[in-house]
Amino acid sequence: MQIAILGKGNMGTPLATLLRNAGHLVDSVGRADDPVAAISRAEVVILALKYEQALAILAQPAIKQTLSGKTVIDITNPLSEDFMSLTTGHSTSGAEELARLLPTSAVVKAFNTIFASVLADHAEGTLCRLPVFVAGNDSAAVECVTTLVRGMNLKAIAAGDLTNARYLEPMTEMMIQFGYGLGHGDRIGFSLETAA
């Protein structure tokens, strides 16, 4: 599959490695690259940008237009500058706000609860046992993202429709609190366990 990843940072880099290792054709798009050309070629586009950067890029008419009809994976979390709180939530989510800007794209929330360090370890061979929660309203797009996740040797868990991003995003803020505020470090994450 042809995939464009907007952002070559902490998340974009291991995502690109894992997807290439899974046999996909990946365009990694940094600030110096042409996003429209990469998006035009792609079936799936990953927003590996800070939430505000994603809002900014989606405000560009040429980008919005080129994303029309495509599956867009939103990995963002609407974090404050110091990462220690969320700027959006409760009655909406970052994912829903991005989807509002892309009414003719299929936005799917995924990967937002996996620390970049865990993903990078996974790309280097230390297998990640944590699941990727996948939420979205378009069943074909959710299925496509679920298949991509599994192809990266990660477990996918269906997380319902996009409004559930209201709960997936605060999970990540709690993960940041555990990791950085409460001293558990950045090799942690949430899993869904059966109690007994």
Q: Binding residues for ligand NAP, per CB under 6 A? A: 6-12, 29-31, 35, 48-51, 53, 57, 75-77, 79, 112, 114-116
User: Rounded to whole angstroms, how far apart are CA atoms 73 and 66?
Assistant: 15
Nearer to ligand NAP by Cβ, of 5 and 23: the residue is: 5
Nearer to ligand NAP by Cβ, of 1 and 55: the residue is: 55
Beta carbon of residue 30, minimum distance to ligand NAP (angstroms, whole number): 5
User: Rounded to whole angstroms, how far apart are CA atoms 52 and 128?
Assistant: 28
CA distances from 5 to 64, 73, 143, 153 (A): 15, 9, 19, 19
Tokens linked to 2: 């042809």
Tokens 């940094």, residue located: 30
Nearer to ligand NAP by Cβ, of 78 and 106: the residue is: 78
Nearest residue (beta carbon) to ligand NAP: 9
48 CB-near residues (< 8 Å, 6+ apart): 5, 6, 7, 8, 9, 11, 12, 15, 75
Q: In 3D, which of 168, 12, 157 has the Cα closest to residue 86?
A: 168
User: Rounded to whole angstroms, how far apart are CA atoms 10 and 123?
Assistant: 12
Beta carbon of residue 108, minimum distance to ligand NAP (angstroms, whole number): 14
Nearer to ligand NAP by Cβ, of 108 and 195: the residue is: 108
Beta carbon of residue 116, minimum distance to ligand NAP (angstroms, whole number): 3
Per the CB < 8 A criterion, the answer to whether 119 and 15 are in contact is yes
Nearer to ligand NAP by Cβ, of 56 and 140: the residue is: 56
Nearer to ligand NAP by Cβ, of 53 and 137: the residue is: 53
Beta carbon of residue 13, minimum distance to ligand NAP (angstroms, whole number): 8
Beta carbon of residue 48, minimum distance to ligand NAP (angstroms, whole number): 5
How many residues appear in the chain? 196
Beta carbon of residue 144, minimum distance to ligand NAP (angstroms, whole number): 20
